[in-house]
């Protein structure tokens, strides 16, 4: 009995020694063979001639590969013979090894372990290979999109800053480059512990001084109330006393008294000079208009200079509803239609076209457009009227300080009117644009005196607090390329002191 146990131990020791000499890849292959459900039993290996006969022992047929591990797709290449146990249960070791007679050498006994079922993976692996690229691409796209969405949301709600459009980026980068120093100075002043003034407390009067000091005679800063009143000038109605004013030699001069208005009832006359409004001297035409405007039913005191006299008028403000265009046929010349345009405001172009049609219906074939004392107004309205009167041609060219140029052209159709335009020294801005366009394109004859010479265009910009600024943005040039600013327009017939209307009637009679 002791001899039999000794022989068994020698066999077991021999098997262990052989396994230790086996490389890592063989051990992995044997382990995979133990858990393979799909491996079919292989045919028993042929007995060596030198080995004595004895009970059959399960053997393992392995195809070794020069690999460090076992790929799932290769499992079918490693078939294990399950076989039958070659001896009684008491001949098995702790690893489930099959016992064998002492005189017989056997391979590593681990190959005879009971197989553990596992799921079939060969076909699944092949399917994964076929659809793997598309799935990976889809996963990448989805993941990338989710990342972008998270970044955008974070930027949108301020977690990672803000997303700016190209125009906003250019605006802020230009702002920082040009005015960053001023912002830093104001910020430092605000942080100065002994400074008496906070930059936020800069007064409207100080802002007016800053804007007035830039060298642009037309630039002006408006408080919120002043800006609101200013914009009412370009509406169909406003609250005031019913006068039209211009600037002459630094003075605010009344040129027009509208009918059935408080100014007419109070006795205000053309050529009166406004010296004060409620005890304050107006610095400009816009300043005078803003001071005179107000709430309907309230009173305003206007000090007037008339020749050597100084007169005070206390006038109740009222809602003024007037047309910017008045017209009619001349009494002694019914074939001549007379149209006076006081300013260019919203709707003036429609009023002008309606006046022309009404006079044509009355039988008028010749027209006089009176732009005397018209200080201008909305440029786009002026362009619309020029387009109505002219065939296809250039109306004007507008140039900015940066060198950008905008050319305005009229369309092919036109009203084809026989026209004379009346001007004087107070014809300015938009009135000069229209006059120059008609004169250079041969659409009218200009009669009167040399115009004011305001060949620049301003914009009105309102700030968040309701205040605003009027400032020059571009200079315009006549269709022939000549400037108008500080030059004016010379009439075809200079009437001097003579009445331009009488000169126009004579011109039509020739």
Domains and CATH numbers, the chain: 2-120 (no CATH), 233-321 (2.30.42.10), 325-509 (3.90.226.10)
Assess whether pLDDT exceeds 60 at residue 128.
no
Mean pLDDT of 244-252: 85
Enzyme catalytic residues: 429, 440, 454
pLDDT in tens, 15-52: 444 444 445 544 454 444 444 444 444 444 444 444 44
Long-range contacts of 285-290 (CB under 8 A, 24+ apart): 285/245, 285/246, 285/247, 285/252, 285/375, 286/220, 286/222, 286/230, 286/470, 287/220, 288/245, 288/252, 289/229, 289/230, 289/233, 289/240, 289/245, 290/222, 290/225, 290/226, 290/229, 290/230
pLDDT at 121: 47
CB 408 within 8 A of CB 393: no
Q: How far apart are CA 422 and CA 504, in angstroms?
A: 8
Mean pLDDT of 444-450: 97
Residue 485 burial (CB count, 10 A) = 15
Which helix H or strand E contains 431, and what residues bound it?
helix 430-440
Pair of tokens at residue 155: 């930027």
Confidence of residue 364 (pLDDT cuts 50, 70, 90): very high
pLDDT at 507: 95
Query: Does residue 103 or residue 503 have the better pLDDT?
Result: 503
pLDDT at 175: 81
pLDDT at 237: 67
Q: pLDDT exceeding 70 applies to what percent of the chain?
A: 72
Mean pLDDT of 230-254: 82
Q: How far apart are CA 129 and CA 474, in angstroms?
A: 69
Confidence of residue 133 (pLDDT cuts 50, 70, 90): confident
Assess whether pLDDT exceeds 80 at residue 3.
no
pLDDT at 136: 80
Closest CA to 417 of 354, 347, 494, 337: 337
Assess whether pLDDT exceeds 60 at residue 408.
yes
pLDDT at 486: 94
Q: How far apart are CA 458 and CA 221, in angstroms?
A: 13
pLDDT at 156: 63
Q: Mean pLDDT, the chain, as a whole number?
A: 78
pTM: 0.60
Confidence of residue 319 (pLDDT cuts 50, 70, 90): confident
Query: Does residue 158 or residue 491 have the better pLDDT?
Result: 491
Assess whether pLDDT exceeds 90 at residue 310.
yes
pLDDT at 144: 83
Assess whether pLDDT exceeds 70 at residue 198.
yes
pLDDT at 116: 52
Assess whether pLDDT exceeds 70 at residue 69.
no
Assess whether pLDDT exceeds 70 at residue 102.
no
């Amino acid at each position: 009995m002791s001899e039999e146990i000794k022989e068994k131990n020698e066999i077991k020791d021999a098997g262990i020694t052989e396994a230790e000499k086996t490389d890592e890849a063989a051990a992995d292959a044997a382990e995979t063979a133990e858990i393979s459900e799909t491996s079919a039993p292989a045919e028993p290996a042929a007995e060596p001639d030198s080995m004595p006969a004895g009970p059959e022992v399960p053997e393992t047929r392995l195809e070794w590969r020069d690999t460090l591990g076992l790929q799932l797709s290769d499992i079918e290449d490693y078939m294990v013979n399950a076989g039958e146990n070659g001896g009684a249960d008491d001949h098995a070791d702790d690893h489930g090894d099959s016992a064998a007679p002492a005189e017989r050498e056997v391979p590593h006994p681990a190959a005879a372990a009971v197989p553990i079922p596992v799921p079939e993976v060969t076909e699944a692996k092949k399917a994964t290979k076929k659809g793997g690229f598309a799935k990976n691409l889809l996963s990448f796209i989805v993941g990338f999109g989710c990342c972008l969405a998270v970044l955008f949301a974070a930027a949108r709600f301020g977690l990672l800053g803000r997303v700016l459009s190209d125009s906003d980026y250019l605006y802020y980068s230009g702002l920082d480059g040009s005015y960053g120093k001023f912002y830093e100075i104001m910020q430092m002043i605000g942080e100065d512990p002994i400074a008496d003034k906070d930059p936020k407390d800069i007064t409207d009067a100080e802002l007016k001084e800053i804007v007035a000091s830039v060298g642009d005679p037309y630039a002006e800063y408006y408080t919120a109330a002043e800006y609101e009143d200013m914009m009412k000038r370009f509406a169909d109605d406003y609250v005031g006393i019913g006068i039209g004013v211009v600037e002459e030699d630094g003075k605010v001069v009344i040129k027009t008294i509208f009918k059935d208005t408080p100014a007419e009832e109070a006795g205000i006359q053309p050529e009166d000079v406004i010296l004060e409004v409620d005890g304050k001297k107006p610095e400009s035409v816009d300043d005078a208009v803003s001071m005179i405007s107000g709430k309907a039913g309230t009173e305003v005191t206007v000090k007037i200079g008339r020749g050597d006299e100084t007169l005070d008028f206390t006038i109740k403000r009222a809602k003024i509803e007037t047309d910017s265009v008045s017209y009619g046929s001349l009494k002694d010349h019914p074939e001549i239609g007379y149209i006076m345009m006081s300013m260019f405001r919203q709707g003036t172009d429609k009023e002008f076209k309606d006046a022309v049609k009404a006079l044509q219906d009355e039988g008028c074939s010749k027209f006089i457009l009176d732009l005397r004392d018209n200080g201008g107004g909305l440029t786009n309205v002026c362009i619309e009227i020029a387009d109505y009167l002219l065939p296809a041609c250039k109306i004007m060219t507008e140039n900015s300080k940066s060198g950008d140029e905008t050319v305005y052209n009229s369309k092919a159709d036109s009203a084809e009117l026989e026209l004379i335009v009346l001007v004087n020294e107070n014809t300015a801005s938009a009135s000069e644009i229209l006059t120059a366009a008609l004169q250079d394109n041969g659409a009218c004859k200009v009669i009167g005196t040399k115009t004011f010479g305001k060949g620049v265009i301003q914009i009105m910009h309102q700030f968040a607090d309701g205040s605003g600024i009027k400032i020059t943005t571009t200079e315009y040039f006549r269709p022939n390329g000549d400037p108008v600013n500080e030059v004016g327009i010379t009439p075809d017939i200079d009437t001097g002191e003579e009445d331009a209307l009488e000169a126009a009637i004579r011109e039509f009679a020739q």
